[in-house]
Amino acid sequence: MERIPLGNTVFEGRNNAYLIPGDRPTLVDVGVATDVVRQDLHDGLDALGYDIADIEAIVLTHWHADHTGLAGELQAESGAPVYVHEADAALVAGDEDAIAEEQRINERRFDEWGIPAEPLDELTTFLTGHEDLRGDDVDVTTVTDGDRIAAGNGELEVVHLPGHAAGLSAFAFEGDEGREAFVGDAILPKYTPNVGGADLRVTRPLATYLDSLDRLVNLDFARAWPGHRDVIDDPAGRARVIADHHRERTARVLSVLDEHGPADAWTVSAHLFGDLEAIHILHGPGEAFAHLDHLVEEGVVERDGTEYGIVDADADVDELVAVPETKR
């Protein structure tokens, strides 16, 4: 397996594509549809002795453009099938109804979160100004948890890990160090993946993501190859660190409500993150919402209209956000 670093100045940065050589050369994730990233991918493949036409399968971890944007044009040139989890397939395919539904959900959430007019205009301008990053439509082949895909000289097993995105999936394989996986943005080596704002279709986003972190811990992969930056040598440990981060953030959300009284998601986000711009106008209140929503479901906070207030001041945050134990 070979990692191909890709640039990305629009979103989190430093994307990865992965080439699995062998009888069925396979790409895992492909980067955003910009000229710079397109050149990065072509140069990376050329350095490994491959052309686009050599690719026989493309596997996508989730629907976000920085992982899927070039898939349509690569498929057109190579004829390769493109595999993606069924929950994200319609968005990757460019299905107009699915895209319209996602936009309706976003608009409803933006109103519920209380995003003021000026930052909302900035966010809308940002999102509409980057629609071309999705790239060409894709003829997708859907997969679901437990499916196996022939890749290289072996196979990949689909491991559904929703939270950051509804269809986010890892792809497990036998590696040099034992069982390894391409994990997309399920866990990242430096940042914590956004939950709540990255895919507004996900119901109970924090609880869903915590379940995925628990599953990652129990799978106990020897190494994880993320969608951004460098390899993760202790995936279970990293998953526990991220879960602990969310426990701390839950405590901070409760502190904000305790100190300032009932507030909407935008106001809580402002106390957590300060001023926001561009894509973070989506991710900030989305993250706050994920925690507020979790607290509502756990009976600690209640929602009245757009505002959230504490109803159980004695709640134990350690019980609300459990950190999974590493299985060794």
Number of residues assigned to the chain = 328
Query: Residue 9: its pLDDT value, please?
Result: 65
Q: Exposure pattern of 216-226 as b/e (b: 16+ CB <10 Å)?
A: bbebebbbbbb
For the chain, where do the domains classified as CATH 3.60.15.10 start and end? Answer: 2-95+131-233
CATH 1.10.10 in the chain is located at: 240-320
Q: How far is it, in rounded angstroms, from Cα 37 to Cα 66?
A: 10
Mean pLDDT of all residues belonging to the chain: 95
Decide: helix, strand or coil at residue 2. strand
Query: Which residues are CB-contacts of 84 (< 8 A; sequence separation ≥ 6)?
Result: 59, 60, 62, 63, 68, 92, 140, 141, 142, 143, 167, 169
pTM over 0.75? The answer is yes
> Helix count (H) and strand count (E) of the chain?
11, 13
Tell me the Ramachandran region of residue 161: left when phi exceeds 0, alpha when psi lies from -120 to 50, beta otherwise: beta
Q: Residue 81: which residues within 8 A CB-CB, separation 6 or more?
A: 57, 58, 75, 139, 141
Could you identify the residue written with the tokens 């948890």? 145
Instruction: Please state which CATH class domain 2-95+131-233 belongs to.
Output: alpha beta
Instruction: Return the structure tokens found at 91.
Output: 């968005």
Structure token pair of residue 173: 């394989």
Residues 6+ apart with CB under 8 A from 256: 263, 268, 271, 272
- Written out in words, the top-level CATH class of the domain with range 240-320 is mainly alpha
- Count other C-beta atoms under 10 Å from residue 255's C-beta: 12
Pair 203, 157: CB distance under 8 Å: no
Q: Please list the ranges in the chain whose pLDDT falls under 70.
A: 9-12, 326-328
- Which residues are paired to 146 by β-bridges? none
Give residue 133's pLDDT.
86
